[in-house]
Amino acid sequence: MRLYLMQHGNALDKTVDPDRPLSPQGIADVGAIGRFLAPLALDIPEVWHSDKTRARQTAERLAACIASKPKLREREGLAPKDPVRAIADAVRERSKDLAIVGHLPHLESLAGLLLTGAAEKTPIAFQQGGVVCLERDEDTVWRIRWAVVPDIVRSQGGR
């Protein structure tokens, strides 16, 4: 099973728009990541996201680039400071691949819990608009398979 963790794209400051939708840079970054991932023909049945506008917009743009056309699902427990155990348990119960679009520090804590057993350990430095792919083997051990961030995609000509 693969788990794709994506931090939402860059958002407008709350002084500009209290809903904090994606900024033009966030839209560009998420689009570039989506175009980069599209040729991989990922088979992701669902994309979970928080109720925040920036996460929903990021999830919509990601889903549009995935060949399997995943179902978008707003999910409780994905806010920036929510505890991660319930989401980690839900992920552990799954057999099909899943993408989660979320926020810091939640994504860092979730990855830490899955990879090390401790939510306070944060082995991954997320970047807005970036995706980290974790893979669970048959022994239920999680490992980092790959990561891609907007800086890398931009350095390759923006794809």
> So what's the pLDDT on residue 139?
87
Positions of the chain with pLDDT lower than 50, given as ranges: none
Confidence (pTM): 0.95
pLDDT tens for 94-127 read 999 999 999 999 999 999 999 999 999 999 999 9
- Among 99, 28, 29, 25, residue whose Cα is nearest residue 66: 99
Task: State the SS3 of 95-123.
Answer: CCCEEEEECCCHHHHHHHHHHHCCCCCCC
- Contact between residue 19 and residue 114 where contact means Cβ atoms under 8 Å apart: no
- Among 158, 152, 150, residue whose Cα is nearest residue 8: 150
> So what's the pLDDT on residue 138?
87
Give the span between the Cα atoms of 15 and 101, in whole angstroms.
23
